[in-house]
Each structure stands twice: as C-alpha cells, then as structure tokens.
Amino acid sequence: MHKLTNYYALKGLKCIHLLATVLWCGGSLAAMLLYYTEGLSTTVETVLHTYLIRPGIWTLIATGMIYTLFTGFSCKQRWVRTKWIVTFATALSGVFIASVPMADLVKAILMVTLVVISVYHLPKNKVKRTV
C-alpha cells in the first residue's frame, strides 16, 4: 500500500487529528463538569454532543485510520493497538453507559490513559551494544 510521505500532508493530518482530540476531550470534560455542577441542561448537552463530541470522535477515528493505513504507524506496533482499544472503549462507554454516573469516571480514566500512551510512548532502543 502506498505510504503518505508528503511533509505538509502529514503535518495537516496531525493538526486535524489533534484538533479532533481537543474537540472530543474538551467537549466530554465540559459535559462532565457541567453535569457535576448541575449546570447541564438538555439543550447544552445536545449542543455539546452535536458540535463537539460526536464530530471529534468521528474525525479522530477517521484520521487514526488514515495514520494506520498510510503511514509508518501500523497496528503491528503495540502502542497503536492499545490506543485503538482504549479509544473505542472510551467512545463506547460514552454511548452505552452515558446515563450512569460511573460512566463519567470511566471516560475520564480512559481519556487519561490515551494521553499517557500518546505522550510517553518511547520506541525501543534497537542499538546493539558492544561489551
């Protein structure tokens, strides 16, 4: 399969991926904070889900698929597989158990896990050492 190597295309894809992450996480965090401060009405919740959370998650999944298929980040790497699992678990926890107060805690924990996996991924050192 043809790999995406254009510098500007990769930077643009990374910007869109990051913006989608911010939309999704920011919208979810705002919904959680408003829920616990009792400021979340059905209108505000609908706006958050319609304009921030849903577009963010769908764009995040789409750009993640492009990264997986057309760049060097493949599912052969353990951290990429882990990010996919945690992303789907977080999205599904918001869809299927959103009415349960525990779902907010589950979503928060899974989102923090995604951030930790993204930030602290360090490739293994493959340099041979001589003794």
In a domain, 131, yes or no: no
In a domain, 124, yes or no: no
In a domain, 128, yes or no: no
pLDDT in tens, 85-116: 878 777 776 665 555 556 666 777 777 777 77
Q: What is the predicted pLDDT for the residue at 86?
A: 79
Domain total of the chain: 1
In a domain, 1, yes or no: no
In a domain, 126, yes or no: no
Residue 38 DSSP code:
T
Question: CA 86, 92, 94, 99 torsion: positive or negative?
Answer: negative
Domain hosting 106: range is 7-119
In a domain, 111, yes or no: yes
Does the predicted model carry a pTM greater than 0.85?
Answer: no
Strands, E assignment, the chain: none
In a domain, 99, yes or no: yes
Q: Is 120 exposed, middle or buried (0-12, 13-18, 19+ CB in 10 A)?
A: exposed
In a domain, 87, yes or no: yes
Portion of the chain with pLDDT greater than 90, in percent: 4
Are 52 and 30 within 8 A, CB to CB? yes
Residue labelled with tokens 């869809």: 95
pLDDT in tens, 47-72: 888 888 888 888 988 898 888 888 87
Residue 125 DSSP code:
P
